[in-house]
A and B are shown apart, each in its own frame.
Chain A
Amino acid sequence: MTYIRPNFRHPELPVNELGYTRKNYEGALSTLCAGCGHDSISAAIVQACFEMSIEPHNVAKLSGIGCSSKTPTYFLGNSHGFNSVHGRMPSVATGANLANRDMIYVGVSGDGDTASIGMGQFTHAVRRNLNMMYVVENNGCYGLTKGQDSATADVGSISKKGEPNPFEPIDLVSVALQLGATFVARSFSGDREQLVPLIKAAISHRGFAFIDVISPCVTFNNNPGSTKGYSHVREHLAATGTVDYVPFKNEITTSYRDGESKEVTLHDGSVVHLHKADPELNISSRRSALRLIKDYKAKDQILTGLLFMDENSQDLHEVVGTSKTPLRSLGESELCPGQKVLDKLNESLR
């Protein structure tokens, strides 16, 4: 964004419950293009984690390769980060999560990283209901290699070269819904009001929380005719609802808009208030979400907001019955059976 960021911060910046200011949640200076949607997403993650009073070092941030995958450097500087290989972040996240179930796992990926080279790993992370937040920063193109169409580029969308994309896009939200993801949302990088509460809810969700964020590429895919450029997305947004995230410990009253609302309790006890703009959406029904996504698409609109959530989600550890103590914390005495057991075993092999 900008190469100059003053070290100076207002001495009386607001602090959260941990006594941290927002500065504690920031990362290195971004080297992405000025105006990149990804930087807004990083800022939303910073804001969400600050407001949730998460210990930054309790978060592991993982990514693959691509512009999006560079972003974990730009938030939560006190967290361990892992910039793995192209498309294979889900497996690294799975391993990390298996080793220590007590941390918060934030995965950031791009549309190339997830919908092409990493499609297999993405689908299997969904299938295993790995406890993590998985954000796709979706701009429909390959920014690092100068703007080739990605698998999420809409058919007919015009690239910087001026050529319309001949292929149908992969809609990651629909894919995630069909594969059984237990938390599915879509948002727009420029809509922080919607995105921040979604991130909070996704982090609190026990299981795979997927957020597809349309995040325009200002350099290679922000031209007229592109369906993932700022102007197109702004003009074609349709929110299914506004989400308010209410932390469990510190319940606050939120202002309600007119219309229906539903309270959903997350596993950590916190509450998500959903204000439905479209009464058609049943937040507990995959079918309803899938149908609405299609309906809105037919109207040339992009449906955003929380689309589906399974309140009874069980994450991978719960499904397979792993020890409550993180596996990495088990000691030799719990792991090594000793010579006596070997003696018996040797005896049985004679």
Chain B
Amino acid sequence: MKQITAVNDFVIKFANVNGTGSASANNMFAKSLFRMGLPVSPKNIFPSNIQGLPTWYEVRVSDKGYLGRRGGVDMMVCVNPQSMAKDVKEVEPGGYFLYDSSKPLDLRLVRNDINYIGIPLKDICQREYKDPRQQQLFRNVIYVGALSALLDIEFEVLTNLVADLFRGKEKLITPNVHALELGYHYAKEHFQCPLGIRVERRDAVGDQILIDGNTAASLGAIYGGATVAAWYPITPSTSVVDGFEKYCKRLRIDPGSGHKNYAIVQAEDELAAIGMVIGASWNGARAFTATSGPGISLMSEFLGLAYFAEIPTVLIDVQRAGPSTGMPTRTQQSDILACAYASHGDTKHVLLFPATPKECFDMTAEAFDLAETLQTPVIMLTDLDLGMNDNMSEPLRWDDKRHYRRGKVLNEEQLENMNERFGRYLDVDGDGIPYRTYPGTHPTKGSFFTRGTSRDEYAVYTEDSEAYEQNMQRLLLKWETAKIEVPAPELIQAGKDGSAVGVIHFGTSRDSTLEAIDMLAAEGVAVDSLRIRAFPFCKDVDDFIDSHDTVFVIEQNRDGQLRTLLVNECEVSPKQLLPILNYGGMPITARFIRDKIAAVAKGDNVTPMRKKSAGKEK
């Protein structure tokens, strides 16, 4: 029978039962490859329940460095009888299916185009361990040991990893190593090792790290000088504040007094969380909150206040599948419009779109500078895929010479020397950004009233049309200033002269998009790419669209929300922007993008997307 053969280039998927301790074994597997110098991209695919239901873990190995989802599964490690029928179907022809052979395989599951590897995991465990919990836990470690033989993973890398993992709990090292050995020897004795797919040590990782985006964002908040975090727990953003607290306990305790140089409040709801952030920012601290889609809905009223009253506000939105409760543990990029225009009335908010953990770190720190510079809410939009999965990333870096940009804040001395009347909403510099003062700065000068109702340049309540319009216009001028301040898009041209076909993408679609572009290039289709990193869109975005006949907009939502935003905010024709949309809750794959672009660009006999959506478009 055909066997898939590949070195350092395959997709392996683990099918487990939620709550059985498989996550740490699967992590160990992914990390061992990473330590062998191989780029890996592990993804947790987990259900929204506590325990007992199926859960999956997919690892892509690619020494070319492709980190997005490729699509397809070359090897399935199936430890969950419940999902076996579904899992077996996913395996590519010629692929491998590792299962627990303690019970004979149901004949209905037998395909004659894939290779079966039966290991009696349960029997081995029952023989070796008396404790039922150990029987369950070590079953996972045993299959990792078997994979070490089957895929040629250096055994020493695994044993070193176990030693690192259980540092401080040394008692656990020997039994874990023993379980690895049990699997390793069983595979060696019963199968031809290695299989057609295998790994070889490389130096393709360099100094990169494996970290999830939420942890990186929490470190960004530490380095960005946040002292107040207020939040309400919600998947998949919870680990942002959890991480912040963990690092605060390590890095922000005053050594002399033991006092905390931070405050974290678990609020009663999302409304209170953002209210606290606004109150703290108004009073001069750097504050942030983290949430997901349903939280954005609840925070919208306050975001309007922060926009209109011009209060720096930092919000990290880790997107999940909506609408409503949607699929809470699945990924999407579907809060774009809700965040861009959050709240009633004419509002727009600065958005940041990180694509890697390093960008989560950089952009979170940057968000505080931006929010204070522009005196407005800044929302960083990540998603579950980036936030909760370990992602390979450039190491985190901080320039020690860097200083926080606290924006236009008048101190006591400046107020003292001021002869003219302080105007909180006066555009002194012509950039739309006024000066503010922190409460309590000066006994008689610089105080003002903050409100969500209309006011004049001196913060005095007024419903005068002219004063209102002037204020709204100034906010638009500030929006123009924001275009210069926010991170510029990343352009990758196909060749020296570029192509007539372009793609616009953002956030976690990056890896799959770049891989799809490489696939297309190999087929003779050249595509330019522009990765948008922020809203408002700067001129580069208009220029990119103008200079391409066809621009695909790749996003992970049903309605093409970024495309809508582009049509709304740039002077472009909707016809020029063709949506490529993935919204099933799983990260977008390179194959999907390649197929969609190829269908149009190569004139394949497939309904062009333009026609398909033409009726709905206008």
Contact = CB atoms under 8 A, between A and B. Distances in A.
Contacts of A332: 225, 403-404
Given A83-B452, A100-B283, A95 B230 contact: yes
Nearest to A77: B447
B261 A330 contact: yes
B222 A337 contact: yes
Contact of A322 (B260, B274, B395, B398): B260
Contact of B261 (A95, A96, A120, A334): A334
A321 B260 CA distance: 6
Contacts of B461: 73
Nearest to A128: B265
Given A80-B439, A84-B452, A124 B268 contact: yes
Interface string B221-232: 011010110100
Contacts of A72: 449
A327 B263 contact: yes
Interface in A82-131: 82-85, 88, 90-100, 102-103, 120-121, 123-124, 128
Interface in B410-454: 437-444, 447-453
Contacts of A55: 443
A328 B227 contact: yes
B285 A83 contact: no
A4 interface: no
B447 A78 contact: yes
Contact of A56 (B252, B272, B443): B443
Nearest to A127: B268
Interface string A31-68: 00000000000000000000000011110101000000
B439 A60 contact: yes
A99 B302 contact: no
B92 interface: no
Contacts of B182: none
Nearest to B259: A323
Interface string A128-160: 100000000000000000000000000000000
A99 B280 contact: yes
A252 interface: no
A317 B279 CA distance: 16
Contacts of A124: 267-268, 272
Given A60-B283, A82-B279, A88-B271, A98 B263 contact: yes
B447 A341 contact: no
Q: Nearest 9 A-B pairs (CB), nearest first?
A: A95-B279, A91-B275, A99-B285, A80-B439, A95-B276, A95-B280, A92-B279, A328-B284, A99-B283
B257 A339 contact: no
A328 B261 CA distance: 10
A346 interface: yes
Contact of B449 (A81, A320, A341): A81
Contact of A323 (B209, B257, B276): B257
Given A98-B285, A321-B260, A83 B451 contact: yes
Given A80-B440, A121-B275, A335-B252, A95 B258 contact: no
Nearest to A335: B225
A102 B222 CA distance: 23
A164 B280 CA distance: 43
B549 interface: no
Interface string B209-238: 111000000010011010110100000000
A93 B279 CA distance: 6
Nearest to B229: A98
Contact of B453 (A83, A91, A98): A83
Nearest to B404: A332
Q: Of residues A55, A317, A327, A339, which shows the largest number of chain B Cβ atoms within 10 Å of its Cβ?
A: A327
B301 interface: yes
Interface of B: 34-35, 207-211, 219, 222-223, 225, 227-228, 230, 251-252, 254, 257-263, 265, 267-269, 271-285, 287, 301-302, 305, 395-400, 403-404, 437-444, 447-453, 461
B261 A335 contact: yes
A350 interface: yes
A11 to B, nearest CB: 19
Nearest to B252: A335
A349 interface: yes
Contact of A324 (B34, B227, B259): B259
B260 A94 contact: no
A335 to B, nearest CB: 4
A55 B444 CA distance: 10
A342 interface: yes
Given A60-B440, A124-B272, A327 B262 contact: yes
A203 B209 CA distance: 52
A343 to B, nearest CB: 8
A100 B285 contact: yes
18 contacts: A91-B271, A92-B278, A95-B228, A95-B230, A95-B276, A95-B283, A96-B280, A96-B283, A98-B279, A100-B284, A103-B283, A322-B263, A323-B257, A339-B400, A342-B395, A342-B396, A345-B219, A346-B396
Contacts of A334: 254, 261
A174 interface: no
A63 to B, nearest CB: 9
Q: Of residues B208, B227, B251, which shows the largest number of chain A Cβ atoms within 10 Å of its Cβ?
A: B227
B179 to A, nearest CB: 24
Interface in A288-347: 317, 320-324, 327-328, 330, 332, 334-339, 341-342, 345-346
A127 B547 CA distance: 59
Dominant SS among interface residues on chain A: helix
Given A323-B254, A328-B285, A342 B398 contact: yes
A75 B517 CA distance: 64
A79 interface: yes
Contacts of A93: 279
A338 B400 contact: yes
Contact of B276 (A98, A328, A345): A98
Contact of B396 (A56, A62, A98, A345): A345
Contacts of B225: 332, 335-336
A57 B442 contact: yes
B228 A327 contact: yes
A120 B269 CA distance: 9
Contacts of B397: 339, 342
Contact of A85 (B209, B227, B284, B302): B302
A327 B279 contact: no
Contact of B260 (A56, A100, A320, A345): A320
B265 A103 contact: no
Contact of B257 (A120, A324, A337, A346): A324
Contacts of A336: 222-223, 225, 398
A85 B452 contact: yes
A317 to B, nearest CB: 8
Nearest to A341: B251
Nearest to A62: B279
A334 to B, nearest CB: 6
Given A80-B440, A94-B276, A350-B208, 9 more contacts: A60-B440, A84-B279, A95-B285, A103-B283, A322-B262, A334-B261, A335-B222, A336-B398, A339-B398
Contacts of A92: 275-276, 278-279, 282
A99 B210 contact: no
Given A80-B448, A323-B259, A349-B211, A120 B285 contact: no
A244 to B, nearest CB: 29
A50 to B, nearest CB: 15
B218 to A, nearest CB: 12
A95 B277 contact: yes
A99 B404 CA distance: 17
A33 to B, nearest CB: 17
B272 A78 contact: no
A55 B404 CA distance: 31
B440 A78 contact: no
A82 B449 CA distance: 6
A81 to B, nearest CB: 4
A350 B33 CA distance: 11
Given A95-B280, A320-B263, A350 B257 contact: no
